[in-house]
Every structure is written in C-alpha cells, then in structure tokens.
Amino acid sequence: MSNQVVAKTTIPTGGWSDLWKKEDWWAVWLGLGIVFAAIVAWIFGSSIKSIAISVPAWTHFSEAIVYLQSKIGNFLLLYIAFLLVFSLALKILGYKLKEFIPGFSVIFILGTAVSIFGAWNWAKKYNLEAPLVALFLGIIISNVLPVPKWLDTALRTEFYVKTGIVLLGATLPFTLILQAGPVAFSAASVVAVTTFLTIYWTATRVFKLDKRFAATLGAGGSICGVSASIAIGGSVKAEKQQVSVAISIVILWAVVMVFLLPAIIKAWGIPAGPGGAWIGTSEFADAAGMAAASSLNEQAIKIFTLMKVVGRDMFVGLWCFIMALISITKWERIDGSTKPDKKEIWYRFPKFVLGFFLASAVITILVAFADTSTAKAITAKIINPIKELRTWAFIFTFLSIGLTTRLKELTSVGWKPFAAFTTGVAVNVILGYIVSVVVLGQYWVTIK
Amino acid sequence: MRADNEMCIQRVRIVFTFFAKNPRQVKGNPFLTDNSQLNLWPASLRGFSQRLTKRLERIAAAMELLLTAHSDWVITGKNDRIIMETETWDFTEILNILEQQGFRAEEFAITVEYTRKWGVL
C-alpha cells in the first residue's frame, strides 16, 4: 500500500525518487553525463573541444574583441549545451524554466565578461583573477542594484559547484585520491574536531547559548559550512531561526575568507599546494573555497578538493548520526524524538562525492589501459575540455555566490552566536595554517 | 535576527506507526504492543483487533487535530504507517499542539530536515 494525499505547497520526498528529485543527484548525473559524452565523442573520432572555451591572455582590448568575434559560434554552442543540461535538471526539480532561462542567460553573459576580463594581462598583474572578480561583481550588483526575483532561479550556487566538482573528479587521478585522501582526512579531522569543540564550548559555556544552536554553529564552522549547519540542525532538532542564524554567519565568514586566505597566501609566499590545503581546512563552504583556491592555481584547486571534499564533506552523515545520538541520549528530551537510525549516515552523505569518485575512477581506468600516444589523446580530447567546462561551472558558482550574498540580510544575527563562531574561526585559521602549511607543507608541495 | 530573514526551509515529518517498534516504550494502551501475544486463539485475535482499532483511532484523531490546525500537508500511507509532511508549519508548534491534546511522545516520531532557501553557498 502506498497512498498519497497532496495538499498545497509541500511535496513528498524520500525513496528512489530522490534520484531525480534531489539537486545532489542531478549534479552526479550531469557531471557524469558530460564525462561520458566526452568519452563517446572521442571514441567516434571527435571531441567536445568546440564547446570547451578557454579565453587566451590578451593585452589590448582589440585582441579580446577579435577573439570573441572568431569564437562567437563556440560561445553560443557552450551556452546552448549548458542551458539544455541545466534546464533538464531544473525542470524535473520543479523550477520554472521561464524564470531559469533568462536568469541563466544573464549569468552566462556575466560569466563570459568575467572570463574575458580575467584573461587580461593587466588584471593578472594585479591579482584580479576571474573567480574573485566574479564574486566581487556579484556582490556589488546584489547589494547596490535591485536584483529581479526571476534571477534567483538561476542562482544555483550549490548545483553549479557540485557539478563542477564531479567534473573535477575526471581531471584527478584516482590513485592520487587514494594516496592523499587519508592524509587529507587526518589533517582535516584534527582541525574540524578542534574547531567544532571550540565553537560549541564557547557558545554553551561562555555565551550560554542552547546546545542545539551551539552544535549547529559548530558544524557550520568545522565540517562543511551551510550543508553541515542544515544537516546537523535537522539531526539535533535545532529551531529554524537558529539554523538561519548559523547559515548567515557561515556565509559571512566564508565570503570574508574567499578574499582573506588567498591574500595572505600570496603575501606570505606560501606555495600553492600548502595554500590549497590551508583553504581546504579553513574555508567554510565548498563554493567559497573553490573560489579562493581557483584564484591560486590548478594544484591549489586539486588539494583544496582533496582536503574539503574527501577530508571533510564525506563525513557529514557520520557527524549527524553522532550528534543526533548525543542530542537524544544526553541533552534534554524532545517529545517525539526517536533513536537515530544508522541509515542517516547514508541519507546525509553528499551524493555528488560519489560522482566525483566515479568520474575520477573512469578516466583513470581509461588512461591506465591506454598506450602513451592514446593517453596523450585522452588528455587533449577528454581531460582538458572537461577541465574547461569545469572552469565555466565554477564561474557560474562564483557569480551566484556574489549575487546571493545580500550583506544587509547576513549581518542581523545577534552578537553572541557571531562571537562564538568567530572564536572558532580564529582557532580554525591558525590551526589550519599549522597543520596544512607548517606540518604538512612539504607533503602538499609534492602533490600535483 | 529579523523574523522574515529566513535562510532555510524546514521540513517536518511526523510518522504514526501502526505497531510499536519497541514494546518497552509502550505504557499500556493505546499502542499495539506485540503480535506474538496473539498465540493464535480467537480471543487474542479479537484483542489484537481491538488494540489495532484503538491505535488507528488514535492516529486518526492526531491527523484530524493537525489537519484542522494547518492545511498544507502531504500525507502518505504505507503498509505499517502514516506519514504527514509539511514545510510550512514549525515543528515546535506541532509538538506543542500534540502535547496539549494529550498525545504522548511514544505515539509518534518526528523528524526535522532543513534545506537552503535559495541557492546560497
């Protein structure tokens, strides 16, 4: 028997339908779909290179114009390709395409402008990399101009970054994940547990905040940002307003860190490897961390991903289970509370991580069975184009972060939770530096 | 924080199981305790029927209460449970109203899940 009565706005969830009703799974389908499309095109002697656009460096504006004119057809193809795959997903997820299509068109045009600007030698000279410019441009627009409501549908920060991370998997050898993953997990766990306990202790002992609120704040500052706050918030039954406050503080600090960490890394001359690892332990959100790492280089992106995705994100389900258990057995009982189910570990597991692993494994196997010349062809016709598409997905992410960061809304959170979280930030950044740069710096330099 | 400045959507799921998962949780009626108590005698079968009727009546009463207080629900019926879900009513208010009307903690299970309100980080 499975009988359903539906009323008004709430729609049912759970079961197999999650495979097409959850954004997380769609990031897997789209990311892997692109990877398989690239492989199929290569098998049939073709390539997806025509839509994988990378704007070359330029000095005079006329060079950029000439390039744009010569590649206008490719830009159009890229726009159509992204529009089709994202529209398919969002339509099934229940969003209105009449809002998404114009919204995504704006994001794509802004993304193109940012990519061209980021390739300008003058901008490079002043460290105005495309990710930071995209983020900054988005923040300026959303906080100065009235952003139309229909644009919100296209601002799918999480969706773009998760799709980008699945694509990133295809550019990362699986052997590297197996080799560096345990190191990343150990380092990230030391920093995450210490940060969590610091925020929790400060919030409950110093500021006398509710334990559930403290756990929600602690999770946001230590595990994986907003995703962790909402997951732990649900597990421990924190109030809606408490979760909203935690999200606001996480976003506020994540945006600060996007600019602060790369600036310090560059100012102190920290190599990209340890720099990426530091961002991986001390940035609070995947999308924001990716923006920070992207402003360094490819090595920083890879090591950031290992640290954040493999070292921290993967274990959010386990954290939820533990916190729910503590909440039920140690803290005051809420009516209707039931013992947490071990299934929660899988339920909360970020599914895009599976796509990341699978994409990496598929390409690694493909390369492993190829001779030298075929391996070179795979790199040129599959891996490099995927890398360019991944960069575009991240540009959409960074613009979306900026366009959804409404500073006025984020700053009205109350000083106690902010102070408790900030204490954790201080510990996190210092400990992250010690672990990633001082202790493991030499190791991360060798990981390329 | 301003009340209208919400950054997340709260989904509440209330599960009414027909049979108790853990009989030790049960303090007498109205919860059905253990099928093995039937012992295959007609009398115990009638006892089973009465307990099941009481339990289903109790679930129906809880549903009526919640449906009267709030209209936006998705109700799913499974073999052994009724699931009520909403994204538009706070779980603390739901707990209060159930408690005020005499529903005990062991009569239902409530889970809370949050999602981002719009595409933030």
Nearest Cβ partner of A244 from B6, B76, B109?
B6
For chain A, the first-to-last Cα distance in angstroms comes to: 54
pLDDT at position A37: 96
pLDDT at position B79: 87
Residue A258 C-alpha from the chain's centroid = 12
Q: What residue ranges in A224-339 does DSSP mark as E strands?
A: none
Residues in chain A, total:
448
Closest-CA residue in chain A for B108? A336
Interface probe with B: pick from A4, A11, A13, most Cβ of B within 10 Å: A13
Nearest Cβ partner of B72 from A9, A12, A254?
A9
- Tens-place pLDDT, residues B33-74: 555 555 567 777 788 788 889 999 999 999 999 999 999 999
Nearest Cβ partner of B76 from A4, A225, A240?
A4
Cβ within 8 Å, pair A10-B10: no
How far, in Å, CA of A247 to CA of A241, rounded? 10
Nearest Cβ partner of B74 from A11, A158, A335?
A11
* Contacts A–B by Cβ distance under 8 A: 145
Closest-CA residue in chain A for B91? A239
pLDDT at position A324: 80
Q: How far is CA A369 from CA A80, A109, A216, A355, A372, in A?
A: 34, 40, 46, 21, 10
Nearest Cβ partner of B121 from A234, A287, A335?
A287
Q: Which residues of A touch B104 (CB under 8 A)?
A: 335
How far, in Å, CA of A222 to CA of A224, rounded? 6
pLDDT in tens, chain A (448 residues): 445 554 456 666 667 888 888 888 999 999 999 999 999 999 999 999 999 999 999 999 999 999 999 999 999 999 999 999 999 999 999 889 999 999 999 999 999 999 999 999 999 888 888 888 999 899 999 999 888 888 888 999 889 999 999 999 999 999 999 999 999 999 999 999 999 999 999 999 999 999 999 999 999 999 888 889 998 999 889 999 999 999 999 999 999 999 999 999 999 999 999 999 999 999 988 889 999 999 999 999 999 999 998 898 888 888 888 888 887 777 755 545 566 677 778 888 889 999 999 999 999 999 999 999 999 999 999 999 999 999 999 999 999 989 988 887 777 778 899 999 999 999 999 999 999 999 999 999 998 8
Give the closest-approach CA distance of B113 to chain A in angstroms: 5
Tell whether the torsion through CA atoms of B75, B76, B82 and B85 is positive or negative: negative
Cβ within 8 Å, pair A337-B110: yes
Cβ within 8 Å, pair A157-B120: yes
pLDDT at position A274: 97
Residue partners of A221: CB distance under 8 A and separation at least 6: A195, A196, A199, A250, A253, A284, A421, A424, A425, A428
* DSSP-based three-state secondary structure for B54: helix
Tokens coding A345: 């570990």
Cβ within 8 Å, pair B74-A157: no
Of A425, A240, A19, nearest in space to B7 by CA: A240
CA angle A200, A206, A212 (to 5 degrees): 35
Cβ within 8 Å, pair A244-B1: yes
Q: Which residues of A touch B14 (CB under 8 A)?
A: 336
Instruction: Name residue B75's beta-bridge partners.
Output: A5, B84
